[in-house]
Every structure is written in structure tokens, then in C-alpha cells.
Structure 1
Amino acid sequence: MHALALLAACVTIVGAIMVITRRVAVHAVLYLVVTLLALATVLVMLGASFAAMLEIIIYAGAIMVLFVFVIMMLNLGQPDSAREKEWLRPRAWLGPGVLATIVCAELLYCTSPLSGAAPVPAAITVHDVGADLFGRYVLVVELVSYLLLAGLVSAFYIGRNRAGGR
């Protein structure tokens, strides 16, 4: 099980490095999804399956849809047809595909009864997460939501100014 945790951590690190080094925003988003899935795998191995599901649903799902929407809305750079041809090349999908396959295989192995993983005695429940998020961490949650909103408005404003200058 330690080897699987190290493999998931390595996938997370490689994915994060690829997010930073990609020049095309959509490729960076693909690697970010893989990185978030690898983090969810680490959470499953630690016994926090509910936190892992929140990671997948909120970050790898909803936030990534928001990022793709912003990228499409800004429409910076090349014309649409040239940009779409670049996105659809197999070379662009090979890295995220391989990393996602490794992460999915790990998740399937860890959640199968064949893995022999010992059950974690103290599981995190939905009530615990809700009580923490809307109890002592409510200010942090609200600040993060304002930060995301400010980032979206800033990206829209910067994109509009650049598009107007073309």
C-alpha cells in the first residue's frame, strides 16, 4: 500500500509540474484534472473517502468546468479552427491519459476487496465536514469564494481589454 501511495504522490507531482509548464491553457487544465484525481487517490488511501469524493465532485468537476468556461469566454490567441486542431492532437492527450490511467487503476485497486486494506477506524462523516465548513471555517470558505469571484472578474476584464486591442 505504501508503494501505491508513493505512486499517487509521484503522479500528483508530475501533473502539477506539467500544469505549470504547459503553454496552452487547455492542456494545463487537463493536467490539473489529473493532479486533482491523484490527490483524491491519496485521500482514499488515507481513509478519507468522503473528502476524496468532495475533491472529485467540486474541484475536478465543477471548478474545472468553470476554468474551461473562462478559457472559452476569453477566446485569446489563435483562430478557433487552428486552436481546436492543436487541442485534438494525440500528443496533447497522451500525457494526461497515461497519468489518469495510473490513477484510476490505483483507485480501483484500493477500493476493491482484493486489496486487503484494513478499514480505518475513525472515518470522516458528512456531518463532520458540514459542521467544520459552516462552523469554525465559515469565514475561510467565504473568503475563498470571493477570491474565486475576483479571479473570474479579473480574467474577464483582462481578456476583454486584450480582445479589444486586436
Structure 2
Amino acid sequence: MMWPFYLMALVAIISTIRVITNSNPVHALLSLIVSLLAVAGIFFIVGAPFAGALEIIVYAGAIMVLFVFVVMMLNLGSHTVLQEKSWLTSETWAWPAALSIVIAVVLVWMICKGDTHNLPLMGQEVIGPKAVGTALFTRYLLLVEVAAMLLLAALVAAYHLGKRDPFEEQQDIAQSNTNRNVIAGKEKEQG
């Protein structure tokens, strides 16, 4: 019975399309997390639990937190707060929530089924964390270091792209103070 595999693949495809078509970076990241969780579910279904756990811990956990921090570090200013509030509707959360529910249903079904002996295995032996760590830090050490340098370079580039001019920051602070004073004045008049 392969319907859980196809269902998780469909969730991964739909959420990945939403990543590409979403114009708000935070909403795209939310859909990307759902996509990565679906791929982890696929790993669990095909009999690679260690790869699925790494997918959740490394990608859906650590890398997504890094992406969220980079988006927050861009500091787009106070003018985007109102725009973000207008985008934060139930429709925004409906798709990721629905796809996450599908993932949860497949997960509960797989756990309740309890028959893990009939799952298709891709390899002949189970590869544990020690074997993966040994391979990564011996044979593939150069590739691990190159990936680390690329991530560091991307973080530095995002910081410099998002760095704002001090004069522009002062204007944003003055504008927000003016807006606060206007709102306080209107509340005084009404009160």
C-alpha cells in the first residue's frame, strides 16, 4: 500500500509551488517548512528513518531558523508592519495548516498501523549516525566545509543587502514617532 508515499509527495509538491509563488518571504518560509516535513515523511515511509530525522533536525529546524533570522535581520522598517498585518489573514495560514494536517494524518496512520516490517527498504543494511558522521568528516570533509563557507557567505551578503542607511533609519523613527503622536492626539480627542 503506497498511498502514504503519494500523499506526502503531493503535499511536498503543493507546498513547494506555494514557496515559489508566494510574494511574502515569511509565508514562503512557512510553506518551505511544510515541504521539508513532507520530504522527511517520505524518507520515513521508504525505510530511511535516519535520513528523515536529519531532514527534520537540520533542514526544517536549523536551516529554517537561520532563514527566519535573516529575514528578520533585513529590518524592512515600520512601513512594512502595516502591510504585513494586512497579509496576515486566515487564508495565509489555511494552506500550510491543511497540508500539515495531511502530514499528521499520514504520520498517525503509520504509527497506528504498527507493521513496520512490510515497509520497503531501499538498502540492505541500516546506516546509523556513526557511519554517517564518519563519512561526512573523513571522505566528504571538503564538501562539508565548502557548504559551511557558502552558508556564511550568504549570511554576510544578506546582512549587507539588508543594511539600512543611518539617515533612512532616523527618518523611519521620526515617522513612527509622528504616527504615535497623531494616534495619541486622536485618542485624547475621543476620550
TM-score (norm 2): 0.78
Whichever residue aligns with residue 33 of structure 1, its letter is I
**CA distances 1:104-149 after superposition (whole Å, capped 9, x unpaired):** 2212222x15253325462221112112211212111111111111
Map Cα deviations across residues 51-99 of structure 1 (whole Å, 9 max, x no partner): 1111111111111111111111102266253144145321111111111
- Structure 2 residue ranges without an equivalent (≥5): 169-191
Q: Which residue matches 1:142?
A: 145
Equivalent residues, number: 163
* 1:113–1:128 CA distance, 2 compared to 1 (3 A): farther
Aligned residue number for residue 107 of structure 1: 107
Deviation at 1:47, TM superposition (A): 1.1
Which AA in structure 1 matches 2:14?
V
Q: Which moved more, 1:48-57 or 1:34-43?
A: 48-57
Residue 61 of structure 2 corresponds to which residue in structure 1?
Answer: 61
Distance 1:106 1:139 in 2: 38
| Structure 1 residue ranges without an equivalent (≥5) | none
Given that 1:27 and 1:87 are in contact with CA atoms closer than 8 Å, whether structure 2 keeps it comes out as: no
2:33 matched to 1:30? no
Q: Please say if residues 11 and 99 of structure 1, whose CA atoms lie closer than 8 Å, have aligned partners that are also in contact.
A: yes
Aligned counterparts, 1:90-105, within 5 A? 90-105=90-105
- Classify 1:124/1:105 alpha carbon distance in 2 versus 1 (closer, same or farther; 3 Å): farther
Q: Which residue of 2 aligns with 1:19?
A: 19
CA–CA distance in structure 2, aligned partners of residues 40 and 60 of structure 1 = 9
Q: 1:23 is paired with a residue of what secondary structure?
A: coil
Residues 10, 78 of structure 1: CA spacing in aligned structure 2 closer, same or farther, 3 A cutoff? farther
Q: Which letter maps to 1:155? A: A
Q: State the secondary structure of the residue aligned to 1:139.
A: helix
Q: Distance in 1 between matches of 2:113 and 2:161?
A: 52
What letter is aligned with 1:75?
N
The aligned counterpart of 1:152 is: 155
Distance 2:108 2:135 in 1: 29
Match of 2:129 in 1: 126
Q: 1:132 to 1:83 in 2, by over 3 A?
A: farther
What is the 5 A alignment of 1:34-49? 34-49=34-49
User: Are residues 1:76 and 2:76 paired?
Assistant: yes
After TM superposition, the score normalised by the length of structure 1 is 0.88
Aligned position for 1:50: 50
Aligned CA RMSD, in angstroms, stands at: 2.0
Mapped partners of 2:94, 2:112: distance in 1: 30
CA spacing shift, 1:87–1:55, aligned 2, 3 Å: farther
Q: Report if aligned partners of 1:18, 1:28 keep a CA contact under 8 Å in 2.
A: yes
**For residues 145 and 14 of structure 1, do their structure 2 counterparts lie closer, same or farther at Cα, with a shift above 3 Å needed?**
same
